[in-house]
Amino acid sequence: MFWNLPLVAVVALVIIALAIIVFKKNLIKVFLGIVILESAVNLFLITLGYREGGIAPIYTNAPPASMVLPTPQALTLTSIVIGVATSALLLSFAIIIWKKYGSIDIDRIRRLKE
Amino acid sequence: MIPAFIVENSPALMVIVPLVAAFLSPFIGRISSMVRSIWVGGAMAVTSTIALILALDVYSAGTRLYVFGASAASAAVPPDSGGIPIRIIFEIDQMSALMLVITAISGFAIILYSLSSERSHTGLESFYTLYLLMITGILGMVSTGDIFNFFVFLEILSLASAGLIAYRVDGGVAVEAALKYFVLSTIGALAILVAIGIYYGQYNALNMAMIAARMQFSVLDQVALVLIIAALAMKCGAVPMHFWTPDAYSMAPSSITALLVVASQASLYGLFRTVFTLYNVTLNAATVGWLIIILGVLSMVVGVTMAIPQKNVKRLMAYHAVSQTGYMLLGVGVGLAVLGNQSLLDAFGYMAMEGGIFHIINHAMYKGLLFLTAGAIFLRVGTYNLNRMGGLGHSMKWTMVFFVIGALAIAGIPPFNGFASKLMIYESVFVFNPLLAVIAMVVSILTLASFVKVFHSIFMGPALPEYSGVREAPMPMLVGMGILAVVVILFGLFPGIVVESLITPAAHALVDQGAYIGAVLGGA
């Protein structure tokens, strides 16, 4: 039961994030939803990599036994870096939208449709 | 003739060269714009050459494996890793090689074109950086054999494409289009990452061959399959998720739109790679095959019907791109639906897949060509609105010729390449299910009708007084379009040779999951 708690948190975060992305009208809040979604996925990867009583693969300190393969941590790190780039690009879009349209309400960002 | 070092390391070089060139181009561009043009043009020429060398090698000598961080490809599975290939591996089989050929030809033609079409614009420092990053992303996506690596290249591609779609801000409208594209592709990429996590949790591997060898098709794998199909079908613009396509395609600079077509094909490649290589016969082929067929038919019909009333020429072409993607999904979907049944596969399955795959390369060529002609017209006339154009045939003769070639190819008129691949799709799909073939033909006729209208409103009629000063497009742009036009005609005149030497090996490589696994794990 306790072991499943992180996965429950992952599902909860995904649902919260999708709800924010779908229902919020403020562009910044939508972006926050995307960031939460990223965190949920990162938590999922980390949870997969957790081994109870495992030995961290730090060669200088580790006892001479088999260590945990740090692939999920490496994946998470990569994913965080990509997430930073994504957030930066999204926020720069928001700045331009604010300058040109004077609003970040997604109902008003509709000039393409006209 | 070609140094062995280059052939040996071509998979790494073709990603490194554009990557390094991309980040150096802002610095080199400070010297002068002439030097920058030579630098980026040269970098793209080198990249294309390396990619073509690699593709040639794959077609003559079979699947190539490149293991990063190892001295030889035979070290794919380190002896002390418990039989898991932990290094990042590039695996280029004939299907990947075909995508390399497409990217190399289009990438080179398009950069020639954009060196001229973008010359008078500002902000070119980062334009070519992003352009070369897109090339890096596409080449990486189609050649990697590691599913997480695929995700990384997909994100490089998405970031660079979004930046380029928004490049000409245009009162914020282009940013709006890029925003739509980027939010969707970020969510899609995260869905793919969840699927990667699911594979890793079950099979302790990120290598596609390893995952494929261990594939159980459990409930979790079905979830992962759905996530990946949804995300990649969205990225290639199949119909229920197509709404970003017309916005992004019409707002991006024309040269970038032509490259976005290639980028969509790379996503399509990812979709086929997942379905055929990761899952292959373990999945319920008929169900997933029909799912892809239905996606394809919907894309064909909805795309073309939405295209007909459009006034903006690039928006119209974008809807046609959606429609043409449907043909590829239809062809390959039919092949998938009969997967595992060797007699049906031999009877028409392979032919349908070959038609679908042939259409990928044809589409990249003629659609790229059409978008480039639209860009040339915009450069001279300053509008995309069909109602305000007319009589341009008097002044832009070469552009008109290229447009006609592209339009006849997309409508499937002989002797252009669209006819060859569409005929293969019609014939094989008719055996599978006559109704689908009829739909495909009707869509083709509607496409022709739509392009006749466009042709008439852009080029025919008397020369309009407001466009009296319009001249032909500049020479480098014509050369860029000419390369694509020549490929369109050659593929249309000699489809037999192309199919035999390029397409059939690709289709067989896609179906033959055992060979893909065996290349990494050693005859598993």
Distance of alpha carbon A91 from alpha carbon A10, whole angstroms? 25
Dig out the tokens for B190 from the structure: 């995260």
Contact in structure between B216 and B90 (CB atoms under 8 Å) = no
The C-alpha atoms of residue B55 and residue B400 are separated, in whole angstroms, by 33
Partners of residue A45 in chain B, C-beta under 8 Å: 193, 197, 200
Interface touch A41/B190, C-beta < 8 Å = yes
Q: Which own/partner pairs from B422-426 qualify as long-range (CB within 8 Å, at least 24 positions apart)? A: B422/B327, B422/B355, B422/B359, B423/B355, B424/B331, B424/B351, B424/B352, B424/B354, B424/B355, B424/B358, B424/B499, B425/B327, B425/B330, B425/B331, B425/B352, B425/B355, B425/B356, B425/B359
Query: How far is it, in rounded angstroms, from Cα B158 to Cα B154?
Result: 6
Dihedral angle over CA of B508, B331, B247, B442, nearest 10: 160
Roughly how many angstroms between the first and final C-alpha of chain A, as a whole number? Answer: 53
Cα of B194 to nearest chain A Cα, Å: 6
For the cut 80, the answer to whether the pLDDT of residue B74 exceeds it is no
pLDDT of B524 strictly over 60? no
Confidence (pLDDT) at B4:
82
Which whole number is the average pLDDT over A45-74?
80
Q: Residue B494's CB: how many other CB atoms inside 10 A? A: 14
pLDDT category, B442, cuts 50, 70, 90? very high
Q: Give pLDDT tens digits for B337-395.
A: 888 788 888 888 899 999 999 999 999 999 999 999 999 999 888 888 888 888 888 88
**Which residue has tokens 């998979």?**
B11
- pLDDT of res. A98: 92
Between B172, B190, B247, which is nearest A37 by CB? B190
CB contact under 8 A, B159 and A72: no
CA angle B365, B417, B432 (to 5 degrees): 110
Q: Calculate the CA A26 to chain-centre distance.
A: 19
pLDDT at position A56 over 70: yes
Whether residue A97 and residue B197 make contact (CB cut-off 8 A), yes or no, is: no
Q: Which secondary-structure segment (H or E) carries B330?
A: helix B313-337
Q: What SS3 state is found at B144? A: strand
The Cα-based distances of B481 to B66, B177, B258 in angstroms read 34, 26, 11
CA A80 to chain centre: 7
What percent of chain B is predicted at pLDDT more than 70?
A: 99
Alpha helices in B144-172 (DSSP H): 147-165
Tell me the average pLDDT of chain B.
Answer: 89
Two structure tokens written together for B390: 């007319």
| Reported ipTM | 0.93
Residue B506's pLDDT is what? Answer: 92
DSSP B91-103: EE-HHHHHHHHHH
The CA radius of gyration of chain A, in Å to the nearest whole number, is 19
CB spacing of A111 vs B197 below 8 angstroms: no
* Mean pLDDT score, A42-62: 82
Per-residue pLDDT at A17: 95
Q: In which element (H, E) is residue B424 found?
A: helix B417-432
Fold classified for A2-113: Helix Hairpins (1.10.287)
Beta-carbon separation of B172 and A90 below 8 A: no
Question: Where is B397: in which H helix or E strand?
Answer: helix B397-411
Alpha helices in B276-312 (DSSP H): 285-307
- Predicted confidence at residue B472, as pLDDT, reads 85
- Tell me the average pLDDT across B161-171: 88
Give the up-direction half-sphere exposure of residue B352: CA atoms within 13 A in the CB hemisphere: 31
pLDDT band at B168 (very low <50, low <70, confident <90, very high): confident
Cα–Cα distance between B103 and A22 in angstroms, integer? 36
Q: Which amino acid is at B412?
A: G
What DSSP string runs through chain A?
-GGGHHHHHHHHHHHHHHHHHHH--BHHHHHHHHHHHHHHHHHHHHHHH--TT-----TTT--SS-----HHHHHHHHHHHHHHHHHHHHHHHHHHHHHHHS--BTTT--GGG-
Percent of chain A with pLDDT over 70: 91
C-alpha to C-alpha distance for B524 and B103, rounded to whole angstroms:
32
* CB within 8 Å: A71 and B200: yes
Q: What angle do CA B268, B272, B277 make, to 5 degrees?
A: 150
Q: List residues in chain B touching A: CB distance below 8 A.
A: 86, 148, 152, 155, 159, 162-163, 166, 169, 171-173, 175-179, 182-183, 186-187, 190, 193-194, 196-197, 200-201, 206, 247, 251
Is B173 in Cβ contact with A111 (below 8 Å)?
yes
Banded model confidence at residue B223, pLDDT cuts 50, 70, 90: very high
Query: What are the chain B neighbours of A85 within 8 Å (beta carbons)?
Result: 155, 159
Calculate the average pLDDT of chain A: 87
Q: Is A32 on the interface with B (CB under 8 A)?
A: no
The band of B108, judged by pLDDT with boundaries at 50, 70 and 90, is very high
State the DSSP string of B190-231: HHHHHHHHHHHHHHS--BHHHHHHH----HHHHHHHHHHHHH
Q: Is A48 on the interface with B (CB under 8 A)?
A: yes
pLDDT-derived band at A2 (thresholds 50, 70, 90) equals: low
Residue pair B104/B134 in contact (Cβ under 8 Å)? The answer is no
Pick the more confident residue, B264 or A59.
B264
DSSP secondary structure code for residue B283 in this structure: S
Task: Name the residue ranges covered by the structural domains of chain B.
Answer: 284-493
Cβ neighbours around B464 below 10 Å, total: 15
Q: What is the pTM of this model?
A: 0.93
Tell me: the pLDDT tens digits for B288-328? 899 999 999 999 999 999 998 888 999 999 999 999 999 99
pLDDT at B245: 92
Verify cis geometry, omega within 30 degrees of 0, for the bond prior to B309: no
The whole-angstrom separation of Cα B18 and Cα B136 is 6
CA dihedral B110, B112, B117, B122 (to 10 degrees): 100
Window 63-82 of A, Cβ < 8 Å to B: 69, 71-72, 75, 78-79, 82
Instruction: Give yes or no for residue A62 having a pLDDT over 70.
Output: no
Beta bridge partners of B92: B64
pLDDT tens per residue, range B117-137: 888 887 788 899 999 999 999
A90 contacts in chain B (CB < 8 Å): 179, 182-183, 186
Name the nearest CA neighbour of B304 among B409, B457, B444, B455. B444
Say if residue A1's pLDDT is above 60.
no
Residue B124 CB partners (closer than 8 Å, separation 6+): B29, B33, B36, B118
Mean pLDDT score, A36-62: 85
Q: How does residue A114 score in pLDDT terms, banded at 50, 70 and 90?
A: low
Interchain pair B172, A99: CB under 8 A:
yes
Mean pLDDT on B393-400? 88
Q: Does A20 touch chain B (CB under 8 A)?
A: no
Q: Where are the domains of chain A?
A: 2-113
DSSP per-residue codes, B14-56: HHHHHHHHHHHHHHHTTT-HHHHHHHHHHHHHHHHHHHHHHHH
* Better-predicted residue by pLDDT, B98 or B339: B98
Predicted local distance difference test score (pLDDT) of residue B318? 93
Query: Around Cβ B524, how many Cβ atoms within 10 Å?
Result: 13
Torsion of CA B503, B506, B510, B515, to 10 degrees: 150
